[in-house]
Amino acid sequence: MSALYEHPRYYEIAFSYRDIPAEVDVFEECFRRFSKVPVKTILELGCGYSPHMPELIRRGYHYCGLDLSQPMLEYSRQMAAQLEAEVKFIHGDMIHFQHPRKVDFAFITLDSLCVRNFEELRHHFDSVAAVLKRGGLYLLEWCINFDPQPHGEVAWLREKNSVQVKTTVRWDNMDPSEQLVAGSIEMDVTDKGKHEVLTDRAIRHAISPREFLGLINQGGKFKFVGWWNDWDLEQPLGWAQGRICRPITVVKRI
Ligand SMILES: C[S@@+](CC[C@H](N)C(=O)[O-])C[C@H]1O[C@@H](n2cnc3c(N)ncnc32)[C@H](O)[C@@H]1O
């Protein structure tokens, strides 16, 4: 696991630009519109520092987070303890995982579904299918590459309690025939005068929309519900789509 994920506090600052209550509003709108089960139990895959957990708990849900990074899980545990909330965390791999109790809703944010090939993608969906109740939803933010030639760079700066974090996310097209892209995140941290650079780089299989739909439609375990731009259920992705940013995709366990 890269050094980047060993610093949850810096990671939290870097990604604090999000409006988490508004995103939880979108979850709840999806429950109302599309879920066939009442939602009480929620599983987040690649939970990291579990930014949605406090808001979900505040709204009365039972939260469980799964991640490979122990420092991220420990940070989340401390946050749950401060909230005096009973929360479950699992140290595990989202590609192959098991969970003893079925959940009503699962989600993954920030393009965290990192697979190296189609087989791993299939295993991931088999694992999610085994843990999600029939009629329950799985929501993915990004994770599908709507851009056929993903490449480019974005950077932003955030500051909290005298800690500055400049984050640069970059994608390079590695091998179009195998749909391989190299994704990297660099965090340039200045913490009370001390300077540090943390990086994560991974080569991953870029999941195309067609491939994703093929997997869902032929797998027999999920039904495609829809995909929308920028966490907005009034913006379905479609023909002549403008810039795509932070799209969400919803499938239903059948
Ligand atoms: C981009 S962060 C997202 C964290 C959090 N969901 C959020 O919205 O801020 C990705 C997280 O996925 C975790 N991760 C990466 N690969 C994983 C895997 N195969 N299984 C479980 N967790 C993984 C990393 O440890 C990291 O905490």
Q: What is the domain range of residue 167?
A: 152-205
The verdict on 117 and 227 lying in the same domain is yes
The verdict on 78 and 96 lying in the same domain is yes
- Dihedral over Cα of 169, 173, 174, 178: its sign: positive
Please tell me which residue, 4 or 93, carries the higher pLDDT value. 93
Secondary structure E strands in the chain:
41-45, 62-67, 88-91, 103-108, 132-141, 152-160, 163-175, 180-191, 194-205, 222-228, 248-253
Instruction: Summarize the confidence of residues 78-106 as an average pLDDT.
Output: 95
From 183, 205, 227, the end of a domain falls on 205
- Name the residue at shortest CA distance from atom 11 of ligand 1: 46
CATH number at residue 132: 3.40.50.150
The verdict on 132 and 219 lying in the same domain is yes
3-state secondary structure of 171: strand
* Candidate of 66, 68, 127 to mutate for ligand 1, largest count of ligand atoms within 8 Å of Cβ: 68
Burial 28-46 (b: 16+ CB within 10 A, else e): eebbeebbebebebbbbbb
Give the pLDDT confidence score for residue 215 in this predicted structure. Answer: 95
d(CA 168, ligand 1 centre) in Å? 17
197-250 per-position pLDDT tens digit: 999 999 999 999 999 999 999 999 999 999 999 999 999 998 867 889 999 999
The rounded mean pLDDT for the chain is 94
> Is ligand 1 within 6 A of the CB of residue 183?
no
- State which ligand 1 atom lies nearest to the alpha carbon of 69: 25
- State which ligand 1 atom lies nearest to the alpha carbon of 111: 1
d(CA 116, ligand 1 centre) in Å? 15
d(CA 240, ligand 1 centre) in Å? 32
The verdict on 127 and 52 lying in the same domain is yes
The verdict on 47 and 129 lying in the same domain is yes
How would DSSP label each residue in 37-51? Answer: S---EEEEES-TT-T
Name residue, tokens 């999941």.
207
> Is ligand 1 within 6 A of the CB of residue 216?
no
pLDDT higher than threshold 50 for residue 1: no
- State which ligand 1 atom lies nearest to the alpha carbon of 108: 6
Give the pLDDT confidence score for residue 2 in this predicted structure. Answer: 54
The verdict on 75 and 121 lying in the same domain is yes
Contact 179, 121 (CB under 8 A): no
Give the pLDDT confidence score for residue 99 in this predicted structure. Answer: 87
The verdict on 161 and 179 lying in the same domain is yes
> Is ligand 1 within 6 A of the CB of residue 69?
yes
Band of the pLDDT at 104, cuts 50, 70, 90? very high
The verdict on 89 and 19 lying in the same domain is yes
- Name the residue at shortest CA distance from atom 15 of ligand 1: 46
Q: Structurally, how many domains does the chain consist of?
A: 2
The distance in angstroms from the start CA to the end CA of the chain is: 34
Q: What percent of the chain has pLDDT over 90?
A: 86
The verdict on 9 and 66 lying in the same domain is yes
The verdict on 114 and 198 lying in the same domain is no
To the nearest 10°, report the CA torsion of 246, 70, 185, 233.
0
Give the pLDDT confidence score for residue 4 in this predicted structure. Answer: 82
Q: Which residues contact 114 (CB under 8 A, 6 or more apart)?
A: 183, 202, 204
Enter the tokens of residue 33. Answer: 């519109």
The verdict on 102 and 162 lying in the same domain is no
CATH number at residue 162: 2.20.25.110
144-197 per-position pLDDT tens digit: 998 776 678 999 999 999 999 999 999 988 888 888 999 999 999 999 889 999
202 phi and psi angles, rounded to 5 deg:
-145, 140
pLDDT higher than threshold 60 for residue 17: yes
d(CA 112, ligand 1 centre) in Å? 5
Band of the pLDDT at 100, cuts 50, 70, 90? confident
Dist. CA 111–CA 146, nearest whole Å: 12
Instruction: Summarize the confidence of residues 110-117 as an average pLDDT.
Output: 93
- State which ligand 1 atom lies nearest to the alpha carbon of 46: 12
The verdict on 93 and 188 lying in the same domain is no
Enter the tokens of residue 85. Answer: 């909330």
> Is ligand 1 within 6 A of the CB of residue 208?
no
